[in-house]
Amino acid sequence: MRSPQPLIRWIAPLVVSLVAMNGASGAAGKFTALRAKMDASKHSVDREKMPGAAVYHRVCEQCHDGLAPKAPARTFLEMMTPEAIDRALTVGIMRSEAAGLSVRAKREVAEYLSGLPVGTHPLPPAPRCDAAHARIETNRAPRLVGWGMESGNERFIPGALAGLDAAQIPRLKLKWAFAFPAAVRARSQPSFAYGTLYIGSPNGAVYALDPDSGCIRWTYHTSAEVRTPIVVPPMQGPQKLAFFGDILGHVHAVDAATGRELWERRVDDHPSATITGAPVYHDGTLYVPVSSLEEAIARPSYPCCTFRGSVVALDAANGRILWKRYTIDAPPHQIGVTKSGTKMFGPSGAAVWNTPTIDARRGLLYVGTGNNYTGSSVGRSDAVLALSLATGRIVWSHQIVRGDAWNVGCMVGLDSCPPHSGPDSDIGAGTMLATLADGRQALFVGLKNGTVVALDPAHRGKLLWSHRIGRGSIQGGIQFGMAFDGRRLFVPISDMAHSMDASEKVRLANAGPPHPGLYALDPNDGRFIWSMPADDVCGGRSFCDPGILAAVTAIPGAVFAGHMDGRLRAYDASTGRVLWQYDTTQPVKTLNGTMAHGGSIGDGGPVVYHGMVYTNSGYGLYFHMPGNVLLAFSIDGR
């Protein structure tokens, strides 16, 4: 599993479901206290005492607790805003099923699932742009595209686009702050095109902002959180398209100039399917990675597991499916029965959490896969797969970790846990295609067990070298992404103080204590160029860890990294010396006049564009500090 979207992020909603169904006994009882520690996203409220609880259990539970083939799992619903749920019940996709409910009952169900009252965020996050700042410059072609900035996912921004010299970095000051309404996390990496900043939000809104001032040019609303970057590729013709995925597994295409919806497509019918990695565009086709939260449904009665990871190719013009390739060829079949009589299925899993990598020269698409959920995945879990861009055929595969079968049943002591479980070593970070100084190419792969692997794309993924840096955990190790500047491979390690799973002793025996921080490797052989362990400034703060969960971003002479303790830092690319830092957890006045603050920094990392640095801050899920801001920095704050 991933995380590019790791499992632990979903455990708090899972435990809510366990408690609701099983009371305070058994596996759920063990985790009731743990939920209070891990879930920074909700107020301490007993949801089962809320008015909407009885209505949900009577009307909704049967479908949304995993028994209806296409109904989104409850885990997803708990990530939606109450307004989005209420809209779905009143005028949206669920209006016929909810026709027998009163207006009040629908609202109460929405508040029960979200844990928030309707109307929590009455203020807009920023003012609308005036005429001087509203213009979207469609004559300026996009240069930084998607999560990895370029098709190879190197996360390097050339100097002409960054517009920031290393010598200027110490003069960076906050210019403006944008607060996402009623949110405790901010996970959609900023994207830039046509002189506009595009970003998704936890409340399902996508914003087009003026990069200089942060005012809003347009807003697009969908029902579910948008955690992927907004992908705005250079395209031929008058229409400018922007693409993104939401947590319910829908891909959206909108007009980049106006926000008008052009098409929408759900790419997988499995109720637990989701999109966590960014879609990538190439030559008229959009390639979409498909991941899942099924491994988090750890109920004794749930027949685990039937999801298979996949990549779907869509016609970018209309959303038509061109091909779909599962990471596991064979459909799941019954492989056994638990002690309590629940059927077990396999093979399953090998989700694609991360952003695919385009290799146009070889006509290939590279994806990294996650762990298997049950049984054997025939060598496709924790592997790099090379797919044909044209057909989706698997040209070659390289499995890095064998036998990694795991689901949340392993954490709560259920029979759904495979006999030889773990270690949950997913490839969460996007695989990187890099060109070395001598012209050779290498695929760099980061795993949650803290290992960096280099493969040879010219020889069917042959292993070049491997270097284990971190101790790892189900949140990394390497979680969201490395960066490469042509001379150095920059590797962020999260390595939280506690690895958060039952493999703590095994990890310590294999890799030693945690090694949070930033490391620069020689791309030719994986040896250290420099090491910069993260100092601990947490001082006992809850949900605070010093390591780096988010993807890092390189510019000439520097690397920007957001830490789990809330610090945004710039490191000297040659030495690792800290050039500048800013505490994003401090309160700031936002564009709508209210006060807000950041928290732990996770998922997509900082972006540097035309002399300014942008970062999200806030990761109020599963042992991380909450926050809800997008921060913009410029030289001297001007």
Looking at residue 176, its pLDDT comes to 98
Question: Is the pLDDT confidence value at 621 over 90?
Answer: no
**pLDDT tens column, 459-486:** 999 999 999 999 988 788 999 999 999 9
Question: What is the residue whose two structure tokens read 């599963």?
Answer: 622
Looking at residue 63, its pLDDT comes to 74
Question: Is the pLDDT confidence value at 39 over 60?
Answer: no
pLDDT-above-90 percentage for the chain: 65
Ramachandran area for residue 422 (φ above 0: left; ψ -120 to 50: alpha; else beta): left
Question: Is the pLDDT confidence value at 542 over 60?
Answer: yes
* Token reading at 469: 């840096």
Give the helix/strand (H/E) hosting 108.
helix 103-114
Lowest mean pLDDT among 56-70, 384-398, 511-525: 56-70
Peptide bond into 170 cis (omega under 30): no
Residue 606 pLDDT grade (very low, low, confident, very high; cuts 50, 70, 90): very high
Handedness of CA 405, 406, 409, 412 (dihedral sign): positive
Give the helix/strand (H/E) hosting 529.
strand 528-533
d(CA 124, CA 182): 11
Asked, for residue 75, whether it belongs to a domain, the answer is: yes
Looking at residue 93, its pLDDT comes to 62
Looking at residue 121, its pLDDT comes to 60
Residue 6 pLDDT grade (very low, low, confident, very high; cuts 50, 70, 90): very low
Looking at residue 92, its pLDDT comes to 62
Question: Is the pLDDT confidence value at 19 over 60?
Answer: no
Write out the residue range of the structural domain in which residue 46 sits. Answer: 7-114
Asked, for residue 44, whether it belongs to a domain, the answer is: yes
Across residues 449-464, what is the average pLDDT? 97
Neighbours of 340 (CB within 10 A): 10
Looking at residue 421, its pLDDT comes to 78
Write the DSSP string, 293-339: -GGG---TTS-----B-EEEEEETTT--EEEEEESSSSPPEEEEE-T
Rounded to 5°, angle at Cα 193 from 189 and 196: 80
Ramachandran area for residue 125 (φ above 0: left; ψ -120 to 50: alpha; else beta): alpha
d(CA 82, CA 97): 18
Looking at residue 588, its pLDDT comes to 97
Asked, for residue 511, whether it belongs to a domain, the answer is: no
- Write the burial class of residue 372 (CB in 10 Å: 0-12 exposed, 13-18 middle, 19+ buried): buried
**pLDDT tens column, 124-138:** 899 999 999 999 998
Whether residue 548 contacts residue 482, with contact meaning beta carbons closer than 8 Å, is answered with no
Question: Is the pLDDT confidence value at 439 over 90?
Answer: yes
* Token reading at 341: 């009589």
Report which of residues 1 and 333 the model is more confident about. 333
Question: Is the pLDDT confidence value at 149 over 90?
Answer: yes
**Looking at residue 195, what DSSP letter applies?**
T
d(CA 635, CA 233): 28
The overall average pLDDT reported for the chain is: 88
Question: Is the pLDDT confidence value at 30 over 60?
Answer: no
Question: What is the residue whose two structure tokens read 């921080």?
Answer: 517
Report which of residues 151 and 558 the model is more confident about. 558
Lowest mean pLDDT among 283-292, 327-336, 502-511: 502-511
Asked, for residue 147, whether it belongs to a domain, the answer is: no
Question: Is the pLDDT confidence value at 560 over 70?
Answer: yes
d(CA 566, CA 542): 12
Report which of residues 228 and 138 the model is more confident about. 228
Across residues 363-389, what is the average pLDDT? 93
Report which of residues 307 and 93 the model is more confident about. 307
Lowest mean pLDDT among 177-181, 336-340, 421-425: 421-425
**pLDDT tens column, 492-525:** 999 998 876 666 777 777 788 899 999 999 999 9
Looking at residue 298, its pLDDT comes to 67
Residue 69 pLDDT grade (very low, low, confident, very high; cuts 50, 70, 90): low
At what angle are helices 82-90 and 103-114 packed, to 10 degrees?
140
**pLDDT tens column, 354-367:** 999 999 999 999 99
Looking at residue 627, its pLDDT comes to 93
d(CA 133, CA 623): 39
Asked, for residue 67, whether it belongs to a domain, the answer is: yes
Residue 76 pLDDT grade (very low, low, confident, very high; cuts 50, 70, 90): low
d(CA 292, CA 482): 23
Using alpha carbons, list the distances in angstroms from residue 288 to 70, 75, 85, 123, 310: 19, 22, 25, 34, 8
Question: Is the pLDDT confidence value at 26 over 90?
Answer: no
Question: What is the residue whose two structure tokens read 């994806």?
Answer: 367
Beta partners for 321? 314
Asked, for residue 22, whether it belongs to a domain, the answer is: yes
Neighbours of 131 (CB within 10 A): 6
Looking at residue 235, its pLDDT comes to 84
Across residues 69-83, what is the average pLDDT? 70
- pTM (2 decimals)? 0.89
Asked, for residue 459, whether it belongs to a domain, the answer is: no
Residue 16 pLDDT grade (very low, low, confident, very high; cuts 50, 70, 90): very low
Question: Is the pLDDT confidence value at 533 over 50?
Answer: yes
Looking at residue 21, its pLDDT comes to 30
d(CA 559, CA 606): 10
Sheet arrangement for strand 205-209:
191-193, 196-200, 205-209, 216-221
Handedness of CA 71, 36, 33, 113 (dihedral sign): negative
SS3 345: strand
Report which of residues 621 and 298 the model is more confident about. 621
How many structural domains compose the chain? 1
Query: How, if at all, do strands 196-200 and 567-572 pair?
Result: unpaired
Give the helix/strand (H/E) hosting 74.
helix 74-77
CA 103 to chain CA mean position, Å? 34
Residue 97 pLDDT grade (very low, low, confident, very high; cuts 50, 70, 90): confident
